[in-house]
Chains A and B, each alone.
Chain A
């Protein structure tokens, strides 16, 4: 009866197969090319094995987790704000997390021996959460075009503000901290190691699970708060769940990889054209597509100028920026 249900399962399975194939392929590509035989269980030379298991695999897994989280988080935020522009980067959620992580690096790092990584994660979460709550408060009470403009302006102000405070922090930072800030700030998956990945492997799947389980409620929320309440939705509980899960997810991603922009905007928007707006399909599809997109972007980032690499955040911005402009200039602007 509906467009999405007839196409859903085969397409999702196809995307999953594509992701698996891409994972296998990307694990072989890089500054050191690896033989496909490694995928068939043939033990390679120790160096190749070390590159594959200690460098490539954690990096690819991190790309999958971060790509999935950013895309699913963007989808859920768009559903919650009932606005197709509610992207973690545009609304300032990511830069809020970024500023909090910068503050941690400059002011607190080194003071808590052994807790550096967790402190960075916690800072990212708190920063994203604070910005989400502020944005949510500002956006409440506006509808349609008014809501879009208000949210974008609020996001612009938050991004500018966090940029300014972040700039001030660079003056206070030591040389070591500056190097740490600039490497992390451009958005890169280069820091992926099994030790850093362990937290992400626990927390990010949990946030994704929360988002997937909220899909039916997000669908109801699209009726508007009053009608959704009458249709059986506890809207307050849903809002708290999405705000916490997306802040935790985005905050952790930013703490791990820096700001990787536009995935949360681009992925749900493209998929909605195909699957329709129902979140039960859109969120799993966004997870798969976000993972694929970030895997591709990261492989490009580490292959184009090999053995050096471009920060992956720059690659996604180069793809996402023009797409966002096209959205604003093109006919799709009417839908906002």
Chain B
């Protein structure tokens, strides 16, 4: 679905050229220590930053060939922080950027567990509630309906930057299950920056491990996450156990 062809950046943050592909029907986790370049890579993938070298291609077309509105139908982004200056009602907020007329897509509000928040203002929400509302808005922009088959067969790319950072453990599980379920659809790909390695290992099909502005490993969680790599990249002593399928479990050493 999306190809990165030697995509790199010199400024404001140096990113060594990355050549990789993101397939439909895939939940991809971007992991790495703070300041490794995960959000920058996500911005390049989204088209917000233009690379200094290489090219990002969506469906075999360079991103520059799409108009902003065309891109918005195929790709949505959830940023780390959402700070609104005005008190949007949640029901209004999730319809911002909606490409279709009428109500939000069926099932989004229920899937994100925000039905009880619809009449609230976004300024009154907690961090976790706002994060769920922001994700619901992105799903609605792409017309992705968790309740049933997504409208049409147009490819959808959902990009999320630390979507679980403000969520409690129940909501983290709820969100990751939803993303996992969405990414089973062949024309949907989900790319997710995650700091929780256990969540990444448990739910992602593939992981890209970033360190100091370069992609240092990519593969299934079992291929990428081992005690030696984690100690080298993160400086943390852990024990890694094999889980179901490609998943692994990571435990901090005492």
A-B contact pairs, 15 of them (CB 8 A): A1-B91, A1-B103, A82-B85, A219-B96, A230-B46, A230-B48, A230-B71, A230-B72, A230-B159, A231-B76, A231-B141, A233-B68, A272-B86, A276-B87, A278-B88
A2 touches B68 (CB 8 A): no
Most buried by B among A226, A227, A276: A227
How many Å from the CB of A288 to the closest CB on chain B? 20
B79 touches A224 (CB 8 A): yes
A4 touches B92 (CB 8 A): yes
Contact with A along B82-112 (1 / 0, CB 8 A): 1111111101100111010001000000000
Q: Kindly identify, within residues 87 to 130 of chain A, every residue whose CB is under 8 Å from any CB belonging to chain B.
A: none
State whether the Cβ of A320 lies closer than 8 Å to any Cβ in chain B.
no
State whether the Cβ of B43 lies closer than 8 Å to any Cβ in chain A.
yes
State whether the Cβ of A69 lies closer than 8 Å to any Cβ in chain B.
no
Chain A interface (Cβ < 8 Å from any Cβ of B): 1-4, 82-84, 143-144, 219-220, 222-224, 226-227, 229-234, 272, 276-278, 335
A220 touches B86 (CB 8 A): no
How many Å from the CB of A320 to the closest CB on chain B? 20
How many Å from the CB of B230 to the closest CB on chain A? 30
B89 touches A3 (CB 8 A): yes
> A-B pairs with the 5 shortest C-beta distances?
A232-B72, A231-B97, A277-B86, A230-B77, A82-B85
Q: Which residues of B contact A226 (CB under 8 A)?
A: 43, 46, 48, 77, 79
CA distance A220 to B91 in the complex (A): 15
Q: Which residues of A contact B118 (CB under 8 A)?
A: 1
A223 touches B82 (CB 8 A): yes
How many Å from the CB of A20 to the closest CB on chain B? 30
CA distance A68 to B71 in the complex (A): 35
The verdict on A83 contacting B92 (CB below 8 Å), with A224-B79, A227-B77 known, is no
Q: With CB as the reference atom, state the residue of chain B lying closest to A233.
A: B68
A230 touches B75 (CB 8 A): yes
Add 14 more A-B contacts to A223-B96, A229-B46, A277-B86 (CB < 8 A). Answer: A1-B103, A2-B91, A3-B119, A4-B89, A223-B97, A226-B79, A227-B77, A229-B47, A230-B46, A230-B48, A232-B99, A233-B68, A276-B89, A335-B123
